[in-house]
Structure 1
Amino acid sequence: MHIDEVKNNQFYQFPKWLLTEPYIELSHRAMLMYMFLWDRRGLSEKNGWYDEDGKVYIYFTNEQFIEILKCSEPAIIKSKKELTEIGLLDEVRQGINKPNRLYINGTKNSLVQDLKNFKHGTKNSLVQDLKNFKGINTNIINTNISNTTTNSAEKNVFDYYQRRIGSLDGFQYERLKDYIEIDGIEPELVKRAIDRAADNGKRNFSYINKILKNWAQNGIRTIAQQDEEQRSFADSKAKKPGTFERPEYGQGYDPELGF
């Protein structure tokens, strides 16, 4: 494995106790669902998503689970039910047009392991975390620091998204972050994708995600490269009068999305 691959690889944490009784009886999909929720705790801590009792909650919609687990909504509901019945998940409805709050539970043993692995903080702060434990380990946010660190350029992108498109949930946040950190797309180019969606009345993450995915697959990672791609497209269109128009100039085929 090349050094660049090592630097760019990120990993999910999978709690080992999920492979012990009684959790070993969970389906693999339910275990993966819990792993994704476990990983999302750091984002909740970063955004201050905790209730009046200090319990951290997570935002992860059924649609996001469908996309990441590649299954149907009934399968997602079934997996949630498994986690709920075994005591690892509590789902709280917030009302119409608001995502449900998801609270994950753990075991005391898993908390102790969290504290052993927790590198950021003092001995006193760890002791205080242990004292505050009340049967649910979501108060302890233990994720890889690289997953929760956001530089100023990335923060600018996230703020820009929320100004031009709308609220940014946890899944969308992580996906944009991956495009910048893993795929190497420069922040200004991500903002261009956001502009393209907003300017064409496509204020949804799916549209932006398709643009960025297409750019990443075609090796377009900078503003200069995308400008060149646009010029090449315009030149080819000029040689073939009456062919497709870009959405910026008219209705029709969008070469970035493939439709």
Structure 2
Amino acid sequence: MHINEVKNNAFYQFPQWLLKEEPYKNLGDKAKLMYMLLFDRRTLSIKNKWYDDDGQIYMYFTNEQFMKELNCSEKTIIKAKKELSQIGLLKEVRQGINRPNRLYINGTVESTGQDLKKVQHGTVESTGQDLKKVQGINTNIINTNISNNKYINSSLGNSLKRLNWLDEIQTQRIMEYVGIDGMNIDVVQNAIERCANSNIRNFNYLNGILERWSKKGIKTLEQVAKDDEEHKQAESFKKQSWKNKNDDFVGFGIQGSGY
């Protein structure tokens, strides 16, 4: 492998005990890979201050994202989550309609060699009690973690000032396109500028732009520019097709009048 290939490749950390220790080595391959993805996301959680008042880290990873990363069906994702939950490595806390679930993973310094906080203590039997403890955390503190994120807030602050009509929940959702969906901040700023410059005071319009980009996997300005060009070409093709149809219709009418 060439040195440039090494520099340009990113790697996931895979805990060795998932392959060697009981009962973890009996997990299915998708469950192990799912844990690996969540294990890797800890850094983003710390960066975005996604932890509760007890210092327990949580992650955001939707089923759709898992399906895309692991190239499998939602049924397989649900099965993998169940495996991890039953063995005490995963806890999923619902947040309500249109809000992504929070995912807590379990691991210890002794077993992983990493400074990962325990979410669950003891055996699988204690899962129910620990889950109640997690669900009982002050939700006001949890729900404001993203809004209080200095990194995202300071970076988007000037742009968001142009949309002072957004409420707290809507502002938080816009920030999540960076923190959860992994968009570059300048991409979100681009969407905000489009909305502000058009004087469109409508959250659904702004959210619609970002949601469409998110579904298409757009995360950089280069991808935005490419998408704009493809959209422009598609619109041009439609107009030309419509013009050709009209020309054909008019030509047919003139031709028919001669009979």
TM-score calculated relative to the size of structure 1: 0.56
Aligned length: 197
Amino acid at match of 2:44: L
Q: Residue in 1 aligned with 2:207? A: 203
Paired with 1:7 and 1:65, the residues of 2 have a C-alpha distance of: 26
Q: Percent identity?
A: 48
Structure 1: which 4+ aligned runs deviate by more than 3 Å?
Answer: 1-5, 132-136, 154-157, 162-165, 187-202, 209-216, 220-223, 236-244
Residues 218 and 224 in structure 2, CA contact (< 8 A), matched pair in contact too? no
Paired with 1:85 and 1:48, the residues of 2 have a C-alpha distance of: 27
Paired with 1:133 and 1:165, the residues of 2 have a C-alpha distance of: 28
C-alpha displacement at 1:46, in angstroms?
1.3
Judging by fraction of residues, say which structure has more helix. Answer: 2
Q: Residue in 1 aligned with 2:30? A: 29
Unaligned 5+ segments in structure 1 are: 116-128, 137-150, 178-186, 245-259
Paired with 1:43 and 1:12, the residues of 2 have a C-alpha distance of: 13
Paired with 2:216 and 2:8, the residues of 1 have a C-alpha distance of: 22
C-alpha displacement at 1:8, in angstroms?
2.6
Paired with 2:12 and 2:30, the residues of 1 have a C-alpha distance of: 15
* Counterpart mapping for 1:40-79 below 5 A: 40-79=41-80
Cα distance change of structure 1 residues 211 and 190 upon mapping to structure 2, 3 Å threshold? farther
SS in 2 for 1:203: helix
Amino acid at match of 2:6: V
Cα distance change of structure 1 residues 62 and 4 upon mapping to structure 2, 3 Å threshold? same
Amino acid at match of 2:181: Q
Cα distance change of structure 1 residues 45 and 72 upon mapping to structure 2, 3 Å threshold? same
C-alpha displacement at 1:70, in angstroms?
2.4
Cα distance change of structure 1 residues 30 and 190 upon mapping to structure 2, 3 Å threshold? same
C-alpha displacement at 1:24, in angstroms?
1.0
Cα distance change of structure 1 residues 69 and 193 upon mapping to structure 2, 3 Å threshold? farther
SS in 2 for 1:168: helix
Paired with 1:167 and 1:189, the residues of 2 have a C-alpha distance of: 11
Q: Residue in 1 aligned with 2:18? A: 18
* Counterpart mapping for 1:246-257 below 5 A: none
Amino acid at match of 1:10: A
Amino acid at match of 1:172: D
* Counterpart mapping for 1:55-134 below 5 A: 55-111=56-112, 113-114=113-114
Amino acid at match of 1:208: W
Q: Residue in 1 aligned with 2:39? A: 38
Paired with 1:26 and 1:46, the residues of 2 have a C-alpha distance of: 30
SS in 2 for 1:166: helix
Residues 58 and 103 in structure 1, CA contact (< 8 A), matched pair in contact too? yes
TM-score calculated relative to the size of structure 2: 0.56
